[in-house]
Amino acid sequence: MAEGPRNEKLEMMTLHKILFTVFVLYFIYKYYTTTAPVIVRIKDPKFTMLGPFNTTHIVVEDNYTQLIDINNFTFKINPQPCNDYPAGLLLMIIISSNPNNRENRLIIRNTWGRNHDSVKVVFLIGEPENLTIAQRVKNESIQYGDIVQGNFVDVYRNMTYKHVMGLKWVAHHCPTAKYILKTDDDVLVNSREMTHFLTRELSPWGVKDLITCQVLQNAKAQRSKNSKWKVTTEEYPSVYYPTYCAGWAILYSQDVIPRLLKIAQTIRYFWIDDVHITGVIAEKIGVTRTPLSSLILTPTTVKQLKVFGPKYVGSFVLGPPDLSRDKIMEIWSSIPA
Ligand SMILES: *[C@@H]1O[C@H](CO)[C@@H](O)[C@H](O)[C@H]1NC(C)=O
Ligand SMILES: *[C@@H]1O[C@H](CO)[C@@H](O)[C@H](O)[C@H]1NC(C)=O
Ligand SMILES: *[C@@H]1O[C@H](CO)[C@@H](O)[C@H](O)[C@H]1NC(C)=O
Ligand SMILES: *[C@@H]1O[C@H](CO)[C@@H](O)[C@H](O)[C@H]1NC(C)=O
Ligand SMILES: *[C@@H]1O[C@H](CO)[C@@H](O)[C@H](O)[C@H]1NC(C)=O
Ligand SMILES: *[C@@H]1O[C@H](CO)[C@@H](O)[C@H](O)[C@H]1NC(C)=O
């Protein structure tokens, strides 16, 4: 009986500990399950929100067989995924891809590019110089039906042909998609969150005059011999580039596509596609670029995502650029399904 009070004391302490643990667990649970209220995180929108009764009238004036200064342009492979969506598609993702990067394409098809109803993906490719690779691309296209191929040589300096081919393909073969995202094959798109962002945050009725991306300002044309981006004054005379979008992820509204295409067909070729299309040409059509950076992961937030989980990092629509295949899979697997 002498042990009575001591037991009670012990029990009280255990009770405190249990209560404390329960509270801590409750707060952790709350933290990870409460959904943050939806807020428009685009701080300074430069595009036009549409209302329920607005329609945009889109006119495509484009010579199908011309691609800038190529006068006998053809699509060597030309799938028509948008024909399955007569009422329109939310998002068409066009991915500039190197013919050699079959592995990247496989990973994209198995992760963020897996088709869901409102989003489709195609890969933009030119003609590989290596005939074995050319045959492999052909085979891959038969298997997956998601490769758009043009008849220009697929080399680095021809990447503007590739981007403009993407605009041409959308204008002629996917004019009912509301939005077009142009990316590269080493990028991660958080496709589910992107869908949510487009339909709930941006506008349920769509927008026009939209070009949004990681905006680059006051960039200088590189003149140094060792630069991958070296351009001569003959290619580009000015010291500075206009404000432009980093080419790895550019979100366009459909109305912008034929307007960009029209100018791209008439002005002199410049091989740095993002500068040319989202800088020089976007200025000519008077469309301002809206920064999307608050919705793009940085290398730091990628680490946080791994350690603390998606709740901590908050919603994002794009990973950082230049990802390895492993990194794409790793980030994808840490996003909740
Ligand atoms: C959308 O429609 C409203 C009225 O229905 C009009 O006032 C507005 O200018 C339109 N906006 C655009 C971008 O067409
Ligand atoms: C389209 O462009 C090609 C090559 O420049 C030209 O031969 C053809 O006549 C043009 N077609 C039309 C309909 O303008
Ligand atoms: C297109 O024109 C180029 C140069 O004029 C020529 O080398 C090429 O063979 C032509 N391609 C086709 C498919 O006719
Ligand atoms: C073409 O690509 C194949 C497969 O990668 C490679 O084995 C071959 O050496 C390449 N041929 C040339 C001429 O580069
Ligand atoms: C392409 O596919 C054919 C038929 O399936 C096969 O015989 C050929 O080896 C493949 N070629 C390449 C380069 O993968
Ligand atoms: C780009 O493609 C065109 C058209 O196929 C080709 O004539 C040209 O040689 C290519 N450019 C380079 C740098 O290979």
Domain extent at residue 91: 48-296
CB of 49 shorter than 6 A to ligand 4? no
Q: Which atom of ligand 2 is nearest to the CA of 64?
A: 1
28 within a domain of the structure (yes/no): no
CB of 133 shorter than 6 A to ligand 6? no
What pairing do the DSSP bridges indicate for beta strands 177-184 and 244-253? Answer: antiparallel
Paired strand residues for 220: 240
Paired strand residues for 147: 123
Which residue did the predictor score with more confidence, 9 or 84?
A: 84
In this prediction the pTM is: 0.88
For residue 151, the model assigns a pLDDT of: 97
Q: Please state, rounded to an integer, the average pLDDT across all residues of the chain.
A: 91
282 within a domain of the structure (yes/no): yes
The CA-based dihedral angle spanning residues 301, 109, 191, 244, taken in that order and rounded to the nearest 10 degrees: 70
Nearest to 82 by CA among 257, 247, 203, 209: 257
pLDDT confidence band for 4 (50 / 70 / 90): low
Tens digits of residue pLDDT in 214-253: 999 999 999 999 999 999 999 999 999 999 999 999 999 9
Which helix (H) or strand (E) segment holds residue 274: the answer is helix 273-274
Identity of the amino acid at 303: K
214 within a domain of the structure (yes/no): yes
Q: What is the DSSP string of 112-139?
A: TTS-BTTEEEEEEEEE-SSHHHHHHHHH
CB of 270 shorter than 6 A to ligand 6? no
CA nearest ligand 2 atom 9, residue: 63
Rounded Cα distance, 199 and 34, in Å: 21
Nearest to 162 by CA among 88, 68, 227, 71: 68
CB of 134 shorter than 6 A to ligand 4? no
Q: Which atom of ligand 3 is nearest to the CA of 151?
A: 13
pLDDT confidence band for 271 (50 / 70 / 90): very high
What residues line ligand 3, using a CB cutoff of 6 Å? Answer: 72, 151
Which residue did the predictor score with more confidence, 10 or 320?
A: 320
Q: Where are the alpha helices (DSSP H) in 34-113?
A: 102-110
Q: Tell me what percent of the residues of the chain surpass a pLDDT of 70.
A: 91
pLDDT confidence band for 35 (50 / 70 / 90): very low
Q: Which ligand is nearest to the CA of 129?
A: 4
* Residue with tokens 């959904």, as numbered in its chain: 35
Q: Which atom of ligand 1 is nearest to the CA of 208?
A: 13
User: Stretch 40-64: mean pLDDT, rounded?
Assistant: 85
Q: Which of 71, 72, 149 to mutate to test the pocket of ligand 3 (most atoms within 8 A of CB)?
A: 72
Is pLDDT at 101 greater than 60 in this prediction?
Answer: yes
Is pLDDT at 12 greater than 50 in this prediction?
Answer: yes
57 within a domain of the structure (yes/no): yes
Which helix (H) or strand (E) segment holds residue 282: the answer is helix 282-285
108 within a domain of the structure (yes/no): yes
Q: What is the CATH number of the domain that holds 262?
A: 3.90.550
CB of 226 shorter than 6 A to ligand 2? no
Rounded Cα distance, 114 and 105, in Å: 11
Cα 69 to ligand 4 centre (Å)? 30
User: Stretch 36-46: mean pLDDT, rounded?
Assistant: 57
Is pLDDT at 28 greater than 80 in this prediction?
Answer: no
199 within a domain of the structure (yes/no): yes
* Residue with tokens 């109305």, as numbered in its chain: 255
63 within a domain of the structure (yes/no): yes
For residue 183, the model assigns a pLDDT of: 98
For residue 45, the model assigns a pLDDT of: 76
* Residue with tokens 């009986």, as numbered in its chain: 1
For residue 33, the model assigns a pLDDT of: 52
> If 0-12 CB within 10 Å is exposed, 13-18 middle and 19+ buried, where does residue 205 land?
middle
pLDDT confidence band for 202 (50 / 70 / 90): confident
User: Stretch 201-224: mean pLDDT, rounded?
Assistant: 93
Q: Which atom of ligand 2 is nearest to the CA of 66?
A: 2
User: Stretch 65-78: mean pLDDT, rounded?
Assistant: 98
pLDDT confidence band for 24 (50 / 70 / 90): confident
Q: Which ligand is nearest to the CA of 72?
A: 3
Is pLDDT at 131 greater than 50 in this prediction?
Answer: yes
Q: Domains in the chain: how many in total? A: 1
100 within a domain of the structure (yes/no): yes
Range from 40-49, 113-122, 296-305 carrying the lowest mean pLDDT: 40-49
Q: Which atom of ligand 6 is nearest to the CA of 157?
A: 13
Alpha carbon distances (Å) from 66 to 116, 185, 227, 235: 33, 26, 31, 22
Which helix (H) or strand (E) segment holds residue 142: the answer is helix 131-144
Rounded Cα distance, 289 and 253, in Å: 12
Rounded Cα distance, 232 and 238, in Å: 10
CB of 149 shorter than 6 A to ligand 6? no
CA nearest ligand 5 atom 4, residue: 139
For residue 27, the model assigns a pLDDT of: 66
